[in-house]
């Protein structure tokens, strides 16, 4: 066993070059997935108050400008959320051909064919009650929601999406979407499952951004209890069995132990979602001059990678990509 004074760990920390060559975890723009909120209407660029720097954009020149920036920064992918013109009990705008997300996909594929387009597959932005599925007798009905999720996924892929990401935490959602995609001739399209999604207070700002707060109740009947990690592994096991091509843990920062546990048990590509509330905390503290935004963001992204995530969904993607380029 090596001991002080023979062993001195400061030797590798002496210069930037020595630190760089012994660095274990790296962060690159190509690891990032940038979330975009696509709204109905024209020439809309509306900043989300609780998420400075993040905008709701219409599927026209506004989105095109954003995509040009994202592609130029070398960001790996975008994930799309939709804000439809109308909402109803059956979430019909979630799979309508001319709805904002479907239009946005076509536009992005034209503007930046290499950029990976992932779509969020959930009903909460499209139902008038804001829940993630069909309501029956006051609760979110799992099985009648599955058919709709399949339909939504097929409409995204028909529009050109590369990857679909179901986020509603319905049991059986991955299998139902896999079957629907295969039946529609999309056997080659991957499913990134939000397999481990906690019932988190850190989604608060997102619900402003996507205009999707539940009108009554909460999401604890389908999203996971923050106290559980063994259950997270069961969620992953089921999703892998149903055909998931990649897994996600969400949120990221309070759940890095979960990221690590999933990483150790499953060889699939793993994503972590650095969610809206995590972003808002950093932005608010930085605005007050209480934190060094650049240093904190690069540190937290490194932490998420070190915990074992391959991909990071983050609202910091554009800033971080710029800082990494300058570094
Ligand atoms: C559901 C969905 C949510 C988020 C991503 N997909 C909200 C929710 O479950 O309430 C949250 C993302 C974030 O907070 O950044 N479509």
Asked if 12 and 23 touch (Cβ cutoff 8 Å), the reply is no
Asked if 216 and 149 touch (Cβ cutoff 8 Å), the reply is no
Q: Domain map of the chain by residue range?
A: 26-326
Per-residue pLDDT of the chain (327 residues; tens, 9 = 90+): 789 999 999 999 999 999 999 999 999 999 999 999 999 999 999 999 999 999 999 999 999 999 999 999 999 999 999 999 999 999 999 999 999 999 999 999 999 999 999 999 999 999 999 999 999 999 999 999 999 999 999 999 999 999 999 999 999 999 999 999 999 999 999 999 999 999 999 999 999 899 888 999 999 999 999 999 999 999 999 999 999 999 999 999 999 999 999 999 999 999 999 999 999 999 999 999 999 999 999 999 999 999 999 999 999 999 999 999 998
122 in contact with ligand 1, CB cutoff 6 A? yes
Task: Pick from 122, 211, 217, 222 the residue to mutate for probing ligand 1's pocket: most ligand atoms within 8 Å of its CB.
Answer: 122
Asked if 132 and 168 touch (Cβ cutoff 8 Å), the reply is yes
Residue 117 has which token pair?
């387009």
Give the domain 26-326 fold.
TIM Barrel (3.20.20)
301 in contact with ligand 1, CB cutoff 6 A? no
Residue whose tokens read 């108050």: 49
Closest CA to 200 of 139, 125, 129, 280: 280
Residue nearest (by alpha carbon) to ligand 1 atom 8: 203
Asked if 316 and 281 touch (Cβ cutoff 8 Å), the reply is no
Closest CA to 160 of 86, 110, 123: 110
Closest CA to 51 of 292, 253, 282, 319: 282
Task: Pick from 123, 129, 167, 249 the residue to mutate for probing ligand 1's pocket: most ligand atoms within 8 Å of its CB.
Answer: 167
């Amino acid at each position: 066993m090596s001991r002080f004074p023979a062993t001195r760990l400061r030797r590798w920390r002496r210069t930037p070059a020595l630190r760089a060559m012994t660095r274990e975890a790296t962060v690159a723009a190509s690891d990032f997935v940038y979330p975009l909120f696509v709204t109905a209407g024209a020439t809309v660029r509306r900043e989300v108050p609780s998420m400075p720097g993040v905008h709701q954009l219409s599927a026209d020149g506004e989105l095109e400008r954003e995509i040009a920036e994202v592609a130029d920064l070398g960001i790996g992918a975008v994930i799309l959320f939709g804000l439809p013109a109308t909402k109803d009990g059956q979430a019909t705008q979630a799979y309508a051909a001319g709805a904002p997300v479907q239009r946005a996909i076509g536009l992005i594929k034209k503007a930046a064919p290499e950029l990976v387009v992932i779509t969020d597959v959930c009903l909460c932005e499209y139902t008038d009650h804001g829940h993630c599925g069909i309501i029956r007798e006051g609760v979110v009905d799992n099985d009648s929601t599955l058919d709709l999720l399949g339909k939504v996924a097929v409409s995204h892929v028909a529009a050109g999406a590369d990857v679909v990401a179901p986020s509603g935490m319905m049991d059986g959602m991955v299998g139902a979407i896999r079957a629907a995609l295969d039946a529609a001739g999309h056997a080659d399209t991957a499913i990134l499952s939000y397999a481990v999604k906690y019932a988190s207070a850190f989604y608060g700002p997102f619900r402003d951004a996507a205009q999707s707060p539940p009108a009554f109740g909460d999401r604890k009947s389908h999203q996971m209890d923050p106290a559980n990690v063994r259950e997270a592994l069961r969620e992953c096991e089921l999703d892998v069995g149903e055909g998931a091509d990649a897994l996600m843990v969400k949120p990221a920062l309070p759940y890095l132990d979960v990221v690590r546990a999933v990483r150790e048990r499953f060889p699939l590509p793993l994503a972590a979602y650095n969610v809206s509330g995590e972003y808002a905390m950093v932005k608010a503290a930085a605005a007050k001059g209480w934190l060094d935004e650049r240093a904190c963001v690069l540190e937290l992204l490194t932490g998420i990678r070190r915990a074992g995530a391959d991909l990071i969904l983050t609202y910091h993607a554009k800033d971080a990509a710029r800082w990494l380029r300058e570094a």
